[in-house]
Chain A
Amino acid sequence: MKSYNPTEFAFQTEWVEKRGLWLVMAFFLGGLGGGLYLVSLYLNYLPGIVTAFFIVAVGKGGTHLLYLGKPLRFWRAFLKPQTSWISRGIISVAGFVLFVGLQLLPEVPGFSFLPWTMHSGLIQGLAIASAVLLIAYTGFALGVVNSIPFWNTALMPLLFIIYSLLGGTGLTLGLLLGTGNTVINIEVVEAVARWFLLTAIVIVGAYLWISYHVNPVAKYSVFQLIKGRVSPYFIGGVLVLGLAVPVTVTALELVYNLPYTVMLSGVACELIGGFSLRYTILKAGAYTPLV
């Protein structure tokens, strides 16, 4: 028998504990890869696009397969995009791998004979559409679940999109700094990162505020993030490492010329924050009591 009191809040566990951690990682890597691709494409930064391709194809795809109970049947998840956001998500992953792969193919030595280039309209358009769906679908997948009030908000897709773009910008910056780039203006990337950080702060704040006031179950979930069992990960991971440290680093960068190691540490903290955000939101998701 399960020791569950139907008058009390019960947390979901399948999507965050044990093998569920693979799913958290899959959500994180999907957002990171999609965000990195979009930012790198905007900057025309080939190493970023290549990295994004592998993050999604190997990281996101691999961790998602590790999570599934029957991984060899994954192809069945393509079959119901008309109603299921998981189905739309797996289509976005496949589309991303296919179209970004096609986009990159002419850049591979020996494939320059191909009749398209990296910026061919149709392939690039489909790759961008796949990337947008990839960074958005997780938020929609959670947002439509009305049995868990903390997730069931219109802000959820926005939150995941912003965190994907933030992670993508951070990783782009990390790649640029780490590879000693001289072509792309790093200050532009820093400025974009600053705006995404500010937007993330506003959306995280709005999400917590609205959840706290909309429903007692969602309020309980917020309480878990701020003072409860998830608070070390949320306060330490999301608020301090994910937001406060990167904001401080980017603010200092406006005044001082910080060493690369400090900048890279800020990027690492931002990525930890992105993972922590997914983890804590999934961990704090509670069902409405039955009675």
Chain B
Amino acid sequence: MCVLCGVLWTEDHWSEAGAEEIPDEPDGTVVMEIHMARRGQRLRDRARRARMASTALRAWGITLQDWEGSCYIVRDRKGNSAVVPDLAQVWEAAEDMLGAPLDPLDPNLLAALRRGA
């Protein structure tokens, strides 16, 4: 839990792993510079992850936003929103807003992605 805002940190989902590892010092210690570098990397990763999910959901006008590094907010154009802990939970929230299932193999979704690419 964050002692300042009282937000519970969720268990890390596999998709929260970074593309790159910032290693410990050779003797195994973690100095403040490393801690801060990891924190910055984590926040940049979460922002990028949210942007990628918003890109995938662009055809439906649904967006994802990181909230203080602790959860994500799913929003649609009607003003609905949902708080989810990780990417795995995004799709159910988005389906609830859409009232329809989301399928990454759907040819219409793939065509929409290509049009936007």
A and B bind: no
